[in-house]
Amino acid sequence: MATAGYRWMMTAPKAPMIRETFDAAPQAGEAVVEVAGCGVCHTDLGYFYDGVRTNHALPLALGHEVSGRVTAAGAGAEAWVGKAVIVPAVIPCGECGPCKRGRPNICRSQKMPGNDIQGGFASHIVVPVKGLCAVDESRLARAGIALSDVSVVADALTTPYQAVSRAGVQPGTLAIVVGAGGVGGYCVQVARAFGATVVAIDVDAEKLAAIREGGAALTLNARELEGKALKSAISAFAKEKDLPTTEWFIFECSGTAAGQQTAYGLLVHGATLSVVGFTMDKIEVRLSNLMAFDARAIGNWGCPPELYPAALELVLDGKVNVKSFVETHPLADINEVFEAVHHREIKRRAVLVP
């Protein structure tokens, strides 16, 4: 039986999104998730303001950071009904060559809500049950966290979780996060949870102050220090704290050309540069620096669903603070919220609640 729902549709870049009704009907292996919350991501802004093309033709409901409760399911998925879940931001097929070789991030049949399929800025969303992450609501309640809050686990937390894990961050290492809001704020917390001492870099004093409370051992404003001065300040901090002056772990989370240029300029011998943020802008770099420093650069697209439970566990254990870095808004205010996020008037992760 179909479920009556509604969703906010993007019809063209920068055109106000419009509300439409639809019938949510799951097929075999699919579930209908009643949305508790859906986070507004930098990627959504890229689609809406910057002309980044979605794989699914417009009109399309955006939104890929989704949490909610399964209210209906197709054949083979009935066991999920009634469960609280986080929907993976990228859902691999699990059957193709890359998936079987342990590279689900590059699955060419993957489904991303708000890009390949209808997204989560809606009352309901229909998704494959493969990869759904179950949420223990009793533990959420004990931690004072709403189900809508953990919607951001689906990208803002799990993407840096994968980046930190893949890079090989360990206790005693130095991690540098460029871009301390949104994804970057969670990257700081995840890197700290993995045992690193973390330096956070941003151009926003408020975000730096917030992430100082969130676990950054040193915060630096890129408006005040640039290039060599920034690198020298980090080197001095590393020496003072008896941390490595080589083999830094650098995470570019700003999704800006300036941030990417800054991150690349921080390469040291044996460094690992993880690109987490996205921008359409181009930058000019000397690739030979990777060779000269015997460094490596890693791209990070989404996060395999099998890593979601471990990332969520950091939240439930209190090692990552989600609640202080999100703020909820009514889904009906989606157009106003997009504008506010676009103009950086909202400092925390905006979560839209139906």
pLDDT in tens, 105-140: 999 999 999 999 999 999 999 999 999 999 999 999
Domain shared by 146 and 170, yes or no: no
Domain shared by 116 and 38, yes or no: yes
Domain span at residue 279 reads 158-299
CATH number at residue 293: 3.40.50.720
Tell me the C-alpha distance between 68 and 57, whole Å: 25
Contact between residue 175 and residue 198 where contact means Cβ atoms under 8 Å apart: yes
CATH number at residue 22: 3.90.180.10
Domain shared by 228 and 347, yes or no: no
Domain shared by 256 and 194, yes or no: yes
Average pLDDT score over the chain = 95
Q: Kindly provide the residue ranges of all beta strands, DSSP E only, lying in the chain, ordered along the sequence.
A: 3-9, 18-24, 30-39, 65-73, 84-87, 124-128, 133-134, 174-178, 197-202, 218-221, 249-252, 272-275, 296-299, 326-330, 349-353
Which tens digit of pLDDT belongs to each residue from 142-172?
999 999 999 999 999 999 999 999 999 999 9
* Count of structural domains, the chain: 2
pLDDT at 1: 66
pLDDT at 181: 84
Domain end position, chosen among 299, 318, 344:
299
Domain shared by 7 and 151, yes or no: yes
Domain shared by 135 and 12, yes or no: yes
Domain shared by 176 and 50, yes or no: no
What band does 260 get if pLDDT is binned at 50, 70 and 90?
very high
Domain end position, chosen among 299, 326, 344:
299
Domain shared by 21 and 80, yes or no: yes
Domain end position, chosen among 282, 299, 316:
299
The structure tokens listed for 52 are: 């980044």
Which tens digit of pLDDT belongs to each residue from 263-272?
999 999 999 9
Domain shared by 92 and 171, yes or no: no
Domain shared by 340 and 272, yes or no: no
Domain shared by 188 and 126, yes or no: no
Which tens digit of pLDDT belongs to each residue from 176-196?
999 998 899 999 999 999 999
| Rg of the chain in Å (alpha carbons) | 20
pTM greater than the 0.85 cutoff: yes
What band does 347 get if pLDDT is binned at 50, 70 and 90?
confident
